[in-house]
Amino acid sequence: MQAPATTRDDLAPAASAVLSRLRAQAPRVHCITNSVAQAFTANVLLSVGCVPSMTQSPEEVAGFAAGAQALMINLGTFDAERSAATEIAVQAACANRLPWVLDPVFIDRSAPRAGFARHLLSLKPAVVRLNQAEFVALAGRPSEPAALTAFAREKDLVVALSGATDTVTDGARVAAIANGHALMAKVTAMGCAASALVAACRAVEEDAFRAAAAALLIVGVAGELAAEKAKGPGSFAVAILDTLYGLDGDTLARRAKVT
């Protein structure tokens, strides 16, 4: 069974509405993420109007997670403390029915990390955001369209696969998002920040498929606009924060490339 393609007419206005709600509701998003990505991720969340927190102390992470509207788990620094904090935070999210997002960074390069990611899958993330190599390591199958939708159905989650064209699917629907710019791959933590934005969007949008698509559209369109002003990856990283801060819903909807 092939999942039906989702139209631009559905997702572009949905993304615009999600962006408005981010600013109006200023959701708290708790992130357990690698130390390379923390500052940029916090700044991306602040730029779109969210309130980030980043604590990873096992003694207090449950309180932070429970007080947030969404949780993002990024495995980019897979150490003992962060693993323990991740377990606690995800349990707190589950107990409080909070949505959470998994970003299994580099699991293709570390077997223990891949094993932990598979364990976390059993705790029901709303969305898994990852690239092709990470999908192969997580799902044990090639990252073909049919495999993505099958995996999403089996695991009852949304897969958001980054690439030249991003693919988002919940098993029933599938969207291909062609926004973005090559400079995004030249700034560390761009993908990690996108995962945090997925969690933020899910905090203000019950439909995890629409939330994930909205996040990737927001970051992709902001990336294109920022690249127009940038002279390289340094000014690009600055410009994407400025652009996220000032992005209006009409521009977002007009530039959305959903195929």
Contacting a copy of itself within 165-184 (CB under 8 A)? none
Q: What is the largest CA-CA distance in the chain?
A: 46
Distance between CA 165 and CA 163 in Å, rounded? 5
Lookup: tokens for 123: 């705790």
With tokens 């819903």, the residue in question is 249
Q: Is 224 in the site for a copy of itself (CB under 8 A)?
A: no
CB of 115 to a copy of itself, least distance (A): 10
* 109 forms part of the interface with a copy of itself (CB under 8 A): yes
Task: Choose between 20 and 188: whose C-beta lies nearer to a copy of itself.
Answer: 188
Report which DSSP code applies to 70: E
Minimum separation from the CB atom of position 52 to a copy of itself (A)? 7
**Closer residue to a copy of itself (CB): 107 or 198:** 107
Residue 133 interacts with a copy of itself (CB under 8 A)?
A: no
Q: Which of 246, 248, 254, 259 binds a copy of itself (CB under 8 A)?
A: 246
Which of 118, 186, 255, 257 binds a copy of itself (CB under 8 A)? It is: 186
- Reported residue count of the chain is 259
Spatial CB neighbours of 82, under 8 Å, sequence gap ≥ 6:
32, 56
CA distance 158 to 169: 6
Q: Considering beta carbons, is residue 27 or 171 the nearer one to a copy of itself?
A: 27
| Residue 78 found at the interface with a copy of itself (CB under 8 A) | yes
CA angle 40-128-115, nearest 5°? 100
For residues 237 and 194, what is the distance between their CA atoms, to the nearest angstrom? 13
**Shortest Å, Cβ 204 to a copy of itself:** 18
Contact at 8 Å (CB) between 123 and 87? no
Q: Is 163 in the site for a copy of itself (CB under 8 A)?
A: no
Tokens of 22: 């981010």
At position 195, the amino acid (one-letter code) is S
Nearer to a copy of itself, 95 or 172 (CB): 95
Q: Which of 210, 238, 211 is nearest to 225 (CA)?
A: 238
Residues forming a β-bridge with 168: 160, 175
Looking at the Cβ atoms of 36 and 94, the one nearer to a copy of itself is: 36
Binding of residue 113 to a copy of itself (CB under 8 A)? yes
Q: In the range 34-53, which residues lie near a copy of itself by CB under 8 A?
A: 34-40, 42-43, 46-47, 52-53
DSSP 135-171: HHHHHSS---HHHHHHHHHHHTSEEEE-SSSEEEE-S
Is residue 151 part of the contact set for a copy of itself (CB under 8 A)? no
Which of 17, 238, 251, 257 is the binder for a copy of itself (CB under 8 A)? 238
Nearer to a copy of itself, 132 or 245 (CB): 245
Interacting residues with a copy of itself (CB under 8 A)? 34-40, 42-43, 46-47, 52-57, 59-60, 63-64, 67, 76-81, 106, 109-113, 185-189, 230-235, 237-246
